[in-house]
Structure 1
Amino acid sequence: MKDIATTRNNAVIAYNSAIELLHQADLDKAYFSKQEEAYSDENANKIEDLRLPSILLWLRRTRDSYALETMRLINHANRSIYYWGLLQKDDDFFSPGPLSNWQNLSQDLQSLDQRFENAMSTFAGSAKSHWPVSGRQGAVYKLSPGQIFTLQTPFKSAVTGETYYSIVITLSPGVTDKSGDLPIFSGRANIRLDLVRLWLIGATVSADQTGAKPITVVLTQLGKETMQNEYRESFDFQHDAVTIPFQFDTDGVESLSDCSEARVLNQQLLGDYYVGNGSPQNSSIAAIGPWSNWSIEVRSSENKNLDMSTLTEAYMEFGGYCSPFRVARLSHALGNRDFRE
């Protein structure tokens, strides 16, 4: 009987202990539940000290990285629309400032879509044209006697020691063509070049192994340029210099009329080349315009027995795409009528 009583008493004690432990566990559960609420995401966002969980720091860095990349892409897209569409620049996209939240980024994207639609409407308002047609010359600028004299002056490179001939020519809206009567690009707006040539009349070189007498000229658009839209509004841009090689056969070239496509020895790929493994896209690189400072350089190291003393005339030739000028904005000419009515 004594063993039975002892066993019962021990069972009662174990039961009471279990009840006590269960009660304590319930208290602990309630305590930790409150602690969990106290350190919820809403409250943890207000903590900026070292106690901030590392996962929150990682999430914030990821969020900021995506926000910065999105802002960069929006800025580049806006600059692209500004450069291609020749619309008035939206300075909100260019102003420095803190990282934008998702609401501001969403508004920027909506604004960007609207600017793109405006640019497309402008493009759709006039047909584009390309010049010159096959067998014809493009727009021509004739170098003056003073410019010819400068181009005949030899220089020696302080780095390589080679002799070269160089001049910088400034072209701006209103510069006349070879006749001196009309602007070089009369009637052409939003000009995008895909052809730039320099014809040197009278300069001589020795024949190569094929019997041709090629002269290589390096033309560089120095990067600061002006473009005009269909309403003769000017837009200024600054970008990296663009270097364009041109090579032609001088044999039989005695006047401008001899400067034909048949004499050209290289094909220029302005605004149509691409890099990478993807498919080529038309105009993947924005084509430059003509209104800028142009550096012309003829190097003795690239032209066999070059003689520039016999140079008599020089012509810059351009070709590309353009839109026509408009007399007035269409909405003004039509009295702001809305044809959707």
Structure 2
Amino acid sequence: MPSSPAISPTFAALPTSPATTPDTQALQEHVRSGLTRTPKTLSSMYFYDEVGSRLFQQIMQLPEYYPTRTEFGLMTEHRHAIAAALMPANGVPLHLLELGAGDGLKTKILLRELLSQQANFTYAPVDISPSALDELRQSLEQELPELRVQPLTAEYTAALPTLREQPGRKAVLFLGSNIGNFLPADRLQFLRQLAQPLAPDDRLFVGFDLRKDPRVIQAAYDDAQGVTAAFNLNLLHRLNRELGADFQVDQWQHFAQYNPLDGAMRSFLVSRRAQQVHVAALGQSFAFEAWEAIHTENSYKFTLPQIEALAAEAGLQVLEVFTDEQAWFADVLLAPVGK
């Protein structure tokens, strides 16, 4: 599950760019493609309408959902070292660009630390949701009025080229466990995209959810209160609202399963009975057999050797790894090589 509405993105279920803006036209084509596949699939990038974003805020507060609080804790513990690792020497300006900024909960830890060290920096949060960015801007104005903020409503591929225009060191933040939402080939391609506009002195700071007790992971994506189920099922409500679909949502159920062999947490929407669903915006109906599934999300978990190998393949080197005491999560500082 993405840890912020960037999430926002992913993109693992279909070969959809994580930077694709989820407008109605794109949603229509995505649904047409995804529901005519075998097996059927929809991307979790479409989880984050207004209702979905609120539900995800609730998920982050659940006792079972460890990623947010674990990363929050490790960033709090290591905030001084992380800030020092990101800051360039001799007062050179730092341009901090965050992809899928969301509510900025964890990022504010770093921003406060950089301000306390009187760093010369600008924060540029990027999100595809104008309302999310506006809420973040307002909260930053209240909590950190001295902060220089340059919000950017854009898809990722549009935001990355702006780095070349910035003086000094550039650092790209991709926090949470968003990188785990990509299929392996897409993940490598995305990291290469992130590395492409970076100079040797620039930095990339990425969050990775690490492998751990499978039961802990399973519970995080299938909580006892059913909030994660509501979050997944809201995708069907969204298709009803925006595309005139007639999903009978009570005839569907959320199912999540973790595979410790490949480190993939997979989520599905499962049809409780044989049924036909009509999508008015497409002028098309889709047949579902009893207990047929729509694959909606992947969330891969990693080992540290995997991260090292992935970085090397993407043309990056691992400079530092920051983890919590249980080694459940890692925020990894990367730099481009061979430039």
TM-score, normalised with respect to structure 2? 0.21
Which one has the largest radius of gyration?
Answer: 1
Q: Where is the helix percentage greater, Structure 1 or Structure 2?
A: 2
TM-score, normalised with respect to structure 1? 0.21
